[in-house]
């Protein structure tokens, strides 16, 4: 196509060959092959000058568009290969996205402003793993440990599980600096607000309550973390939540049980790192997990 356009623009095989740094016979062979391919004569040869035929005029219009598209495609591919463009699709738990990811994404966008980050929220870690395995996601921030074979994983943050209580609750009033918090075994008669069965946060809470040997009364179940926090503030009960999920505007009581923590990490397919934008995002994520904010979450 480039040879064809050069001959059309120069009106001469000789000048086109010089422009393309080709021998004229080689250029003529390529044009004949193109004419055979499209099934039409593209040039009228009148002495030293060549002119487009009607078929050549039609092809020139499409050839220019095709070459422009190829140039644009090449530039975009180069941008992606150099992590200057492209897209990364990241799965994130709702209880994590609002607090852990904003700084990471902001830092990534500063380093790679041409790359689009697409976030997918979901509540079940194991389904995230399946989405990564099938290619629906490039990577996902999820609860550790990862369970699906064939995925790579890295723990980023170990955050404590806390008890979210209503304002003025006796446990919060007694949780003064220096005190170690509450044992779950002492909360068997508490009313709790919790996520519905099937949600990761509900699975986590049920496991901790069972491990403490208690079965608190469930006052309310919901599918929205914001409703859990709002109902606790309204006095409906207490909620057992990871520190990130508990938010920063509630009354938080530390939990003393040794198993009261959640590990968060990232899972990915090794082949996905062949994409420079994905590799760049993973690098930023892992690097950010070592910053001061992440260290505070581990405490």
Provide the CATH number for the domain around residue 51. Answer: 1.10.10.10
pLDDT, residue 34, reads: 93
Q: 187 with 241, same domain?
A: yes
228 pLDDT exceeds 90?
Answer: yes
d(CA 123, CA 154): 19
Least confident interval from 92-106, 126-140, 230-244: 92-106
Q: 9 with 73, same domain?
A: yes
Among candidate residues 124, 136, 133, the one with its CA nearest the CA of residue 90: 136
Q: 153 with 269, same domain?
A: yes
Output the six-digit token pair for 263. Answer: 């590990």
Q: Which residue has the higher pLDDT, 235 or 74?
A: 235
d(CA 81, CA 77): 6
CATH number at residue 202: 3.40.190.10
Strands 261-268 and 86-92 turn out to be unpaired
pLDDT, residue 175, reads: 58
Structural domain total, the chain: 3
Q: 129 with 270, same domain?
A: yes
Q: 253 with 166, same domain?
A: yes
The number of angstroms, rounded, from the C-alpha of 77 to the middle of its chain's C-alpha atoms is 20
Domain, as residue range, for 98: 86-157+264-298
**Segment 162-190 mean pLDDT:** 80
How high is the mean pLDDT of the chain?
Answer: 85
Q: 124 with 77, same domain?
A: no
294 pLDDT exceeds 60?
Answer: no
pLDDT, residue 180, reads: 72
Q: 60 with 189, same domain?
A: no
Q: 235 with 248, same domain?
A: yes
98 pLDDT exceeds 90?
Answer: no
pLDDT, residue 178, reads: 54
217 pLDDT exceeds 60?
Answer: yes
Q: 22 with 70, same domain?
A: yes
């Amino acid at each position: 196509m480039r040879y064809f356009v050069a001959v059309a623009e120069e009106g001469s095989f000789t000048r086109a060959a010089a422009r393309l740094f080709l021998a004229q016979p080689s250029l003529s062979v390529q044009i004949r092959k193109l004419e055979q391919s499209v099934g039409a004569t593209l040039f009228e040869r009148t002495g030293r000058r060549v002119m487009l035929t009607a078929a050549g005029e039609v092809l020139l219009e499409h050839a220019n568009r095709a070459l422009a598209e190829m140039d644009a495609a090449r530039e975009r591919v180069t941008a992606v290969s150099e992590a200057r463009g492209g897209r990364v699709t990241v799965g994130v738990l709702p209880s994590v996205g609002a607090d852990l990811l904003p700084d990471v994404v902001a830092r990534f966008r500063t380093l790679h402003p041409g790359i689009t980050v697409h976030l997918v929220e979901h509540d079940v870690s194991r389904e995230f793993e399946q989405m990564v395995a099938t290619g629906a996601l490039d990577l996902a921030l999820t609860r550790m440990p990862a369970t699906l074979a064939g995925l790579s994983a890295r723990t980023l943050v170990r955050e404590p599980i806390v008890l979210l209580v209503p304002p003025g609750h006796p446990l919060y009033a007694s949780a003064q600096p220096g005190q170690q918090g509450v044992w779950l075994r002492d909360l068997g008669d508490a009313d709790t607000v919790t996520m519905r069965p099937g949600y990761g946060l509900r699975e986590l809470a049920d496991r901790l309550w069972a491990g403490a040997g208690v079965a608190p009364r469930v006052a309310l179940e919901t599918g929205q973390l914001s409703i859990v926090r709002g109902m606790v503030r309204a006095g409906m009960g207490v909620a057992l939540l990871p520190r990130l999920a508990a938010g920063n505007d509630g009354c938080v009581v530390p939990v003393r049980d040794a198993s009261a923590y959640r590990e968060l990490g990232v899972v990915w397919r090794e082949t996905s790192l062949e994409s420079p934008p994905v590799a760049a995002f993973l690098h930023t994520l892992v690097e950010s997990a070592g910053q001061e904010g992440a260290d505070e979450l581990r405490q």
